[in-house]
């Protein structure tokens, strides 16, 4: 099995977990705004205290340990960008996961010593596009899941990892868990017809442990490369079909045959999976909030960690959502 030499060198130099932290403003943090990577407590204090107060209100911060052993692509960091929708149609809330994703890569090789170089640590397109190396390794610093599968086969072939079989179901589960976590707080007034498209970011560490990094409202929908010129229109088309078609059914003048033909086309093209339905999940969650239901104390069942198939096939090889942020 091939192993990324850059990661081996980093492990040789830093055998233990390093004291690196990521600091994010609690408000207006999309597109990489205000995000810093720090390794010194005094620097964190100075950063927070210098920005904690604005004219109108206090500012909040998220400070979490940095994933300092990321899985790398040719020595560089990457993450997954996925999409999901929460919709409230006629007051009934449902959640959908988009069954495709893409990889966002960094321009510079990973170096935990250089904590202030954002081109190393932040894969946001709004950050990377200002690097002189933007697009040098991948068109628009993006890879498809098929591209990533090829990379895994070449560099980690002994693990027999299939992205759609082993990784995407874990991502889908974390998205579903996030829906369940906020179900009682999102749109509490149940406005008549509403929806929101979210951008989810995930990372793998060198042991293929999956972590949810953040969930973004108003995700970037720029079509900065051919891959995104395919994915973004598909995401929007699928989103409108999921949230608008139930509200605006075809008129009575449309023949049954035409409706069936369009429905068949819709079924073939739909890439959203229904992962949350308040009529099914709601009663259970209400009981949980009232303390009427207890869940098994089974950490393994709740953790999206190392893939079971890998553990069984590669003996000796080696968190819940948002427990670690990179």
DSSP string for 262-292: HHHHHHHH--EEEEEEHHHHHHHHHHHHTT-
Q: How far is CA 24 from the centre of its chain?
A: 16
The vertex-326 CA angle with 14 and 149, nearest 5°, equals 90
Average pLDDT over residues 157-180: 96
Instruction: State how far the Cα of 194 lies from the Cα of 192, in Å rounded to an integer.
Output: 7
Supply the pTM of this predicted model.
0.79
Checking if the pLDDT of 115 tops 50, the result is yes
Helix or strand run (H / E) with residue 264: helix 256-269
CA–CA distance, 230 with 221 (Å, rounded to integer)? 11
DSSP state of 163: I
**How much of the chain exceeds pLDDT 70, in percent?**
73
Helix (H, G, I), strand (E, B) or coil at 196: strand
Percent of the chain predicted with pLDDT > 90: 44
- Only one residue has tokens 């959502």, namely 321
135 three-state secondary structure = coil
| Tens digit of each residue's pLDDT (9 = 90 or more) over 227-261 | 999 999 999 999 999 998 888 876 666 666 666 66
CA distance 131 to 133: 5
Is the C-alpha dihedral spanning 220, 226, 227, 233 positive or negative? positive
Domain 69-313 has CATH 3.40.630.30: no
Q: Over 50: is that where the pLDDT of 314 sits?
A: no
Query: Which pair of tokens denotes residue 152?
Result: 């895994």
Which runs of E-coded beta strand occur in 11-164? Answer: 21-25, 36-38, 61-65, 78-89, 92-105, 142-144
pLDDT digits 0-9 by tens, 291-304 = 776 655 444 444 44
């Amino acid at each position: 099995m091939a192993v990324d030499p850059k990661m081996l060198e980093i492990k040789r130099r830093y055998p233990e977990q390093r004291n690196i932290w990521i600091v994010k403003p609690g408000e207006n943090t999309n597109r990489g705004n205000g995000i810093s990577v720090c390794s010194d407590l005094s620097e964190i204090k100075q950063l927070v205290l210098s920005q904690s107060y604005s004219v109108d209100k206090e500012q909040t911060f998220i400070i979490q340990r940095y994933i300092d052993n990321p899985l790398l692509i040719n020595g560089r960091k990457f993450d997954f960008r996925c999409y999901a929708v929460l919709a409230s149609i006629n007051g009934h809330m449902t959640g959908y996961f988009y069954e495709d994703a893409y990889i966002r890569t960094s321009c510079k090789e990973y170096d935990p010593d250089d904590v202030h170089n954002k081109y190393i640590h932040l894969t946001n397109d709004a950050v990377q596009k200002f690097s002189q190396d933007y697009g040098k390794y991948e068109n628009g610093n993006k890879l498809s899941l098929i591209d990533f599968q090829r990379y895994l086969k070449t560099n980690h072939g002994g693990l027999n990892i299939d992205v759609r079989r082993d990784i995407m179901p874990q991502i889908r589960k974390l998205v579903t868990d996030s829906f369940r976590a906020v179900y009682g707080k999102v749109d509490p007034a149940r406005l008549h017809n509403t929806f929101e498209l979210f951008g989810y970011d995930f990372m793998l560490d060198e042991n293929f442990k999956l972590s949810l990094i953040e969930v973004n409202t108003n995700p970037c929908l720029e079509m900065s490369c051919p891959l995104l010129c395919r994915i973004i229109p598909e995401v929007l088309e699928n989103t409108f079909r999921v949230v608008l078609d139930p509200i605006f059914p075809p008129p009575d003048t449309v023949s049954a045959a035409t409706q069936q033909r369009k429905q068949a086309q819709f079924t073939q093209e739909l890439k959203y999976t229904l992962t949350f339905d308040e009529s099914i999940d709601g009663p259970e969650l209400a009981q949980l909030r009232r303390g009427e239901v207890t869940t098994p104390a089974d950490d393994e069942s709740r953790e999206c960690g190392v893939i079971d198939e890998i553990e069984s096939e590669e003996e000796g090889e080696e968190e819940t959502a948002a427990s670690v942020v990179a």
